[in-house]
Amino acid sequence: MRNGWKSVKAWAYLLAFVVPLLVVAGLRIGGAAVLLTPAFTFVLVPLLDLAVGEDRTNTTPDEDRAMDGERYYRVLTWLFVPVYWAVLVSVLRAAAAGGWSPLETAGNVFSLGVLGGIGIVVAHEMGHKPGRFEKLLAKALLHPVFYGHFTREHNLGHHRLVATPEDPSSARLGESFFRFYPRAVGGVFRKAMELEAERLRRDGRGAWSVRNEIYRAVLVPAALLGGAFSLWGGRAAAALGASAVIAFSLLEVVNYLEHYGLERRRLENGKYERVTPLHSWNSNHLVTNCFLFHLQRHSDHHTWPARRYQVLRDVPEAPQLPTGYAGMILLALAPPLWFRVMDRRVADFMQRQRETQLVEGTGAVD
């Protein structure tokens, strides 16, 4: 990787911080300015993806080691936590003051939800890391969007069961987002409860233990809602609740597009083949990759979940999305267009899988 290109990408990761600035700008200016955040996220970013194109550069092993240790990349994700909370409090206080038009109400709440959705992306990055500090920061971003159970299920459930019928976060071929959504939201919570109960049993405790993390994932958001209501009233509590639903809905539409139609095959021993880059849709569109901390290099992430975002790699043999996530989210909300674009790609990829017999390892999931 050329040093100049590395510097460009290092600065480009600051794109994530444009959203909190736009949320505040919309809040302060009012009127049509409340549409700045959705316009940036779902209009400008997809257009920039098309204009700028793809980035298929990978770091060398030496660059991997050097960049993995650079604190700058970690600090960017850490800083997102106080920035998010500052904007959250500002929006809730403004909601309590009243005086918003219907457009301003919808725009400010939706913008806060978009910010919360990016917060989940940042929490996903930190939640995969071994240190307790980053896991706590991840929870600080997940609880306000009512998805504190996400890390437990995602790390221990989704990553093990991805691209199998047992995974609630893997969309099936021919399944629209609107069919996938309730299955995913309910299934992720149930799976998180099951995994936490298993952990507590191994520790010799019952599921009703005070150490049950999933209960905290319910109680903390309830306390946040109660706190918002006590401090600022019903409008603030309603804004918090609505923005949380928007945030985790954005997460689930991303889950939908990340594995749509891809399947791990069962081997003769009855287990699924090992997770490989072939079981996640990949995208190298540069702008959204920087905007979402390389989340789109999802194939490499599922192969090496602990790898930090700045050194995630392009995997050429992985199935490729036609554009970045920002554009694919819009496509997923129009099922006929989604099926027209994606089902052919799934069929082509599965045919290539059959022809090449790409099966790696003996699997580990019954």
CA-CA distance, 138 to 129, in Å (whole number)? 10
For residue 357, the model assigns a pLDDT of 57
Tokens representing 118 are 């990016």
What's CA 361's distance to the chain center, in Å? Answer: 28
The per-residue DSSP string of 258-312 comes to: HHTT--PPB-TTSSBPPP-GGGS-B--BHHHHHHTTTTT-HHHHHHSTTS-GGG-
CA-CA distance, 192 to 158, in Å (whole number)? 10
For residue 356, the model assigns a pLDDT of 61
For residue 362, the model assigns a pLDDT of 42
| Residue ranges per structural domain of the chain | 3-356
CA-CA distance, 154 to 112, in Å (whole number)? 24
Tokens representing 34 are 């409340």
Q: H helices then E strands: how many in the chain? A: 17, 0
CA-CA distance, 149 to 218, in Å (whole number)? 8
Length of the chain: 366
Give the pLDDT of the chain (366 residues) as one tens digit per residue: 455 556 788 899 999 999 999 999 999 999 999 999 999 999 999 999 999 999 888 888 888 888 988 999 999 999 999 999 999 999 999 999 999 999 999 999 999 999 999 999 999 999 999 889 999 999 999 999 999 999 999 999 999 999 999 999 999 999 999 999 999 999 999 999 999 999 888 888 877 777 888 999 999 999 999 999 999 999 999 999 999 999 999 999 999 999 999 999 888 888 898 898 889 999 999 999 999 999 999 999 999 999 999 999 999 889 999 999 999 999 999 999 999 999 999 998 888 777 665 544 444 444
**Beta bridge partners of residue 266, listed in sequence order:** 272
DSSP state of 122: H
Question: Using alpha carbons only, how large is the chain's radius of gyration in Å?
Answer: 20
Task: Give which of 72, 91, 69 is closest to 24, Cα–Cα.
Answer: 91
Tokens representing 83 are 């920035």
Three-class DSSP labels, 13-72: HHHHHHHHHHHHHHHHHCHHHHHHHHHHHHHHHHHHHHHHCECCCCCCHHHHHHHHCCHH
Beta strands in 167-232 (DSSP E): none
Work out the number of other CB atoms within 10 angstroms of the CB of residue 365. Answer: 17
For residue 60, the model assigns a pLDDT of 84
For residue 203, the model assigns a pLDDT of 83
**Beta bridge partners of residue 320, listed in sequence order:** 282
List CB contacts of 252: < 8 A, sequence separation 6 or more.
Answer: 169, 180, 181, 184, 185
